[in-house]
Amino acid sequence: MNTTKGPVSQFIEHHYRHFNAAALMDAAKGYETHLAEGGKMMITLAGAMSTAELGISLAEMIRHDKVHIISCTGANLEEDLMNLVAHKHYKRVPHYRDLSPKEEWELLEQGYNRVTDTCIPEEEAFRKLQKHIHELWKDANAKGERFFPHEFMYKLLLSGVLEQYYEIDPKHSWMLAAAEKNLPIVVPGWEDSTMGNIFSSYVVKGEIKSTTVKGGIDYMVWLTDWYRKNSGGKGVGFFQIGGGIAGDFPICVVPMMYQDLGWKDVPFWSYFCQISDSTTSYGSYSGAVPNEKITWGKLDIHTPKFIVESDATIVAPLIFAWLLGY
C-alpha cells in the first residue's frame, strides 16, 4: 500500500486487483513512471468528455504539469466553455432512455440540445459564445491574420470578457487552465462542431474568409515540429480517451514522419493507454487493440501498452486521482 497518497488512491490500489480494475491500476502506475522518468504526455479527448465535466480533474492535471499537450474534438473544445458560462441553465434528464420522439422535439423547441442525459441550452451556451468569438474572427479576418481554433478560444478566455457569465468555479474549466498555461492543443476536424458550423455560416454569407481559421493540415504541420522538439529522452506518451479523430489524427504524426518524410530517427510513442468500450471485431479505430498500432508504425514492440475496456467518465477521473495523489 502506497501510504504517501491520499484515500482515493489507497482505495484504488487496495481494491482494484483484477480484470479492468487491475488494468486501470497498471495504466495509472505506468503513466506515473513515464512522467517520473522525464517523459511527456499527450491526452486525447473523444466523446463528450467536457459535457461530462472531466474538466474538474483534467484542469488539475494541467495545473500540476501531468499533461503537456492535448488533442480533442471541436465539441470538447467548445463544450468546456459552454459549461463554464451556462452551467446553471443546463438540464439533466436521468430518464433519457425513455424519451419519446415528441418529448425530444419539445426539448428542441425549448432551446435544448441533448447529449445523453445532459441538455445544453442553445441561447445561453451557443449564442453567448458566438457573440464574442465572432468579433475575434472578424478582427482577424480584417487584419489578414490566421489562428488555430484553440487560439481563438484562448484569446476569448484570456480577454476576461466571459468572466461576467461564469456559472461554475473557474478552477473546474480545463480550457481555462490550458489557456493560462498556453498548453499546446490539436483540434482535428474542428469543422465538425457547433462553432465550426457557426463559422461556416459566416463564410457562406461572405463575411469571413475560410482561411481565417487554420485547419487540419496546419495542425499536422505544427504537430510535426512539436513532436520533433519534445520526443527526446524518455519521449512522449499517448493517453487516449475513446478513439476517433481526436486519437487517430495525432498518433499518425509518427508514421507520417517515418514513412512519408523518410525521417528514420523519429522515436515511437513511448507509452500508450486507451480507455474505450469499443469492440475490436467491429473494425473501428476506437476498438483497435494497441498491438494493431505496431503494424501502422505508431507504437514500438516494447512500448508499454494498456487498455481499459470501460467507461471513460468513470475510469479517467480515477487515473487522474492517482496521478494527483488524491
Q: What is the pLDDT of residue 279?
A: 79
Q: Which residues lie closer than 8 Å to 246 by C-beta, 6 or more apart? A: 44, 45, 46, 71, 72, 73, 76, 188
Each residue's pLDDT, cut to its tens digit, for the chain (326 residues) gives 777 999 999 999 999 999 999 999 999 999 999 999 999 999 999 999 999 999 999 999 999 999 999 999 999 999 999 999 999 999 999 999 999 999 999 999 999 999 999 999 999 999 999 999 999 999 999 999 999 999 999 999 999 999 999 999 999 999 999 999 999 999 999 999 999 999 999 999 999 999 999 999 999 999 999 999 999 999 999 999 999 999 999 999 999 999 999 999 999 999 999 999 877 877 777 778 888 999 999 999 999 999 999 999 999 999 999 999 99
Q: What is the pLDDT of residue 6?
A: 97
Q: What is the pLDDT of residue 16?
A: 98
Q: What is the pLDDT of residue 200?
A: 98
Q: What is the pLDDT of residue 283?
A: 75
Torsions phi, psi for 305 (to 5 deg): -125, 135
Output the CATH code of domain 7-85+98-324.
Answer: 3.40.910.10
Count of Cβ atoms closer than 10 Å to residue 113 Cβ: 14
Tell me the C-alpha distance between 217 and 78, whole Å.
21
Q: What is the pLDDT of residue 238?
A: 98
Give the three cell numbers for residue 61.
Answer: 492535471
CA distance from start to end of the chain: 14
Q: What is the pLDDT of residue 290?
A: 87
Q: What is the pLDDT of residue 120?
A: 97
Tell me the C-alpha distance between 237 and 221, whole Å.
19
Give the three cell numbers for residue 144.
Answer: 489578414
Q: What is the pLDDT of residue 282?
A: 77
pTM for the whole thing?
0.96
Q: From residue 216, how far is each of 94, 231, 254 by CA, in Å?
A: 36, 21, 16
Q: Which residues lie closer than 8 Å to 57 by C-beta, 6 or more apart? A: 316, 317, 320, 321, 324
Dihedral sign (CA 30, 33, 38, 43): positive
